[in-house]
């Protein structure tokens, strides 16, 4: 129901909401083919050994670049399909405005209510919608792979900012050291910037101090070879460290509060746009055409829509 946004799904989600809030939400993002699904499969395996119940939401952008990730994800995580304590759901990007991030976060909530200890969201780190999906996560891993033009420069800036942990996957290949070095340099520069901005005075500048340092979090870099399970326990540990940091430190809690606020803003925005389109769709289309013909500027059109919408409600 939540995925298809069927009538009544909001009422169901409202009923489920009191049962949510326990799951830890882990986002896994990175360029196409970086090894996100293979890594997810390994983390599922690792956390299952602890007896955790696990939800996985795999977002397929259905873009020509991803080469049919749904099928790939299914094959890569197939062995967990038989496990009643693992629930895997693939979502396709649809054209709808903000539809992807919203149904992904709704499905995460359903899995949370189901009793998942951890919900993993796998999403390609390209596109605004996909970026927004990672914002619903408490802890985000950015997966990088060497030797596929996948250097630090090739990763979108927005994605870099939402990284809590970096996984340099395919560390069995040449170039992993260079990728780690690039990341370390980037993090050191980032800390330098932070140190000079007010509020961050005294932040550690020298050397990459990974993990929680001086109350703030510096993303650790972990080398992994997902296909060979190398580095998975270390990666899982860093992720769990981050979870402890958000739960136990003031800055971590502030970060969670900020994400919660952002998520509510998104929900309000989506609900408003949806309501406006429902109530005055043809009027909006008409104004859009006028904007295209340059008969009216977009600011005036927006003002007119806002005024009319307010007078209706």
Ligand X SMILES: Nc1nc2c(ncn2[C@@H]2O[C@H](COP(=O)(O)OP(=O)(O)OP(=O)(O)O)[C@@H](O)[C@H]2O)c(=O)[nH]1
Contact set with Mg ion (CB under 5 A): 36-37, 69, 73
Tell me which of Mg ion, ligand X, none is bound by residue 227, counting a contact when its beta carbon lies within the kind-specific cut-off of 5 to 8 angstroms. ligand X
Distance from first CA to last CA of the chain, Å, rounded? 28
Tell me which of Mg ion, ligand X, none is bound by residue 110, counting a contact when its beta carbon lies within the kind-specific cut-off of 5 to 8 angstroms. none
Place of tokens 């520069």: 189
Q: List, edge to edge, every strand of the sheet that includes 24-30.
A: 86-92, 54-60, 118-124, 24-30, 139-144, 165-168, 221-223
Tell me which of Mg ion, ligand X, none is bound by residue 38, counting a contact when its beta carbon lies within the kind-specific cut-off of 5 to 8 angstroms. ligand X
Nearer of residues 125 and 220 to Mg ion, judged by Cβ: 125
Task: Tell the smallest beta-carbon distance from residue 40 to ligand X (Å).
Answer: 7
Tell me which of ligand X, Mg ion, none is bound by residue 286, counting a contact when its beta carbon lies within the kind-specific cut-off of 5 to 8 angstroms. none
Tell me which of ligand X, Mg ion, none is bound by residue 19, counting a contact when its beta carbon lies within the kind-specific cut-off of 5 to 8 angstroms. none
Q: What is the dihedral of CA 267, 124, 68, 129, to 10 degrees?
A: 30
Which residues in this chain contact ligand X in the complex, by CB under 6 A? 32-38, 66-67, 69, 72, 76, 124, 169-170, 172-173, 225-227
Nearer of residues 112 and 150 to ligand X, judged by Cβ: 150
Task: Tell the smallest beta-carbon distance from residue 101 to Mg ion (Å).
Answer: 18
Nearer of residues 116 and 120 to ligand X, judged by Cβ: 120
Contact call for residues 159 and 135 (beta carbons, < 8 A): no
Q: Give the separation between CA 146 and CA 178, rounded to whole angstroms.
A: 8
Q: Which residues pair with 30 in a beta bridge?
A: 124, 143
Q: Cα 84 vs. chain centroid, distance in angstroms?
A: 25
Q: Give the separation between CA 18 and CA 285, rounded to whole angstroms.
A: 39
Q: Give the separation between CA 32 and CA 123, rounded to whole angstroms.
A: 9
DSSP-assigned states of every residue in 183-223: HHHHHHHHHHHHHHSTT-TT---SS---EEETTEEE--EEE
Task: Tell the smallest beta-carbon distance from residue 227 to ligand X (Å).
Answer: 4
Nearer of residues 76 and 238 to ligand X, judged by Cβ: 76
Nearer of residues 167 and 276 to ligand X, judged by Cβ: 167
In the complex, residue closest to Mg ion by CB: 37
Tell me which of ligand X, Mg ion, none is bound by residue 42, counting a contact when its beta carbon lies within the kind-specific cut-off of 5 to 8 angstroms. none
Task: Tell the smallest beta-carbon distance from residue 59 to ligand X (Å).
Answer: 9
Task: Tell the smallest beta-carbon distance from residue 2 to Mg ion (Å).
Answer: 22
CB atoms closer than 10 angstroms to residue 86: 20
Nearer of residues 37 and 103 to Mg ion, judged by Cβ: 37
Task: Tell the smallest beta-carbon distance from residue 145 to Mg ion (Å).
Answer: 12
Tell me which of ligand X, Mg ion, none is bound by residue 212, counting a contact when its beta carbon lies within the kind-specific cut-off of 5 to 8 angstroms. none
DSSP-derived letter for residue 230 is: B
Task: Tell the smallest beta-carbon distance from residue 234 to ligand X (Å).
Answer: 14
* Residue 106, CA atoms < 13 Å, CB-side half-sphere: 22
């Amino acid at each position: 129901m939540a995925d298809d946004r069927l009538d009544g799904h909001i009422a169901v989600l409202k009923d489920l909401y009191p049962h949510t809030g326990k799951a830890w939400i882990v986002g896994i993002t990175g360029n196409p083919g970086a090894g996100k699904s293979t890594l997810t499969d390994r983390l599922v395996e690792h956390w299952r050994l602890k007896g955790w119940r696990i939800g996985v939401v795999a977002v397929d952008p259905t873009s020509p670049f991803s080469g049919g990730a749904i099928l790939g994800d299914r094959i890569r995580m197939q062995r967990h399909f038989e496990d009643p304590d693992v629930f895997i759901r693939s979502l396709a990007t649809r054209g709808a405005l903000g539809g992807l991030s919203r149904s992904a976060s709704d499905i995460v909530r359903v899995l949370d209510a189901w009793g998942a200890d951890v919900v993993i969201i796998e999403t390609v780190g390209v596109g605004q919608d996909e970026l927004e999906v990672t914002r619903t996560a408490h802890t985000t891993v950015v997966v990088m792979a060497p030797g596929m033009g996948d250097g630090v420069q090739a990763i979108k800036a927005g994605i870099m900012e939402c990284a809590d942990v970096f996984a340099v996957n395919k560390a069995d290949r040449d170039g992993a050291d260079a990728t780690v070095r690039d990341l370390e340099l980037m993090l050191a520069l980032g800390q330098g910037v932070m140190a000079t901005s007010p509020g961050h005075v005294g932040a550690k500048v020298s050397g990459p101090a990974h993990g929680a340092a001086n109350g703030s979090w510096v993303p650790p870099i972990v080398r992994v070879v997902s296909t060979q399970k190398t580095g998975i326990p270390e990666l899982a540990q860093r992720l769990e460290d981050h979870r402890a940091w958000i739960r136990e430190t003031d800055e971590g809690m502030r970060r969670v509060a900020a994400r919660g606020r952002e998520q509510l803003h998104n929900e309000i925005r989506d609900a408003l746009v949806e309501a406006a389109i429902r109530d005055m769709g043809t009027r909006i289309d008409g104004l859009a055409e006028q904007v295209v013909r340059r008969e009216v500027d977009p600011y005036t059109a927006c003002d007119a829509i806002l005024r009319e919408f307010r007078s209706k409600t």
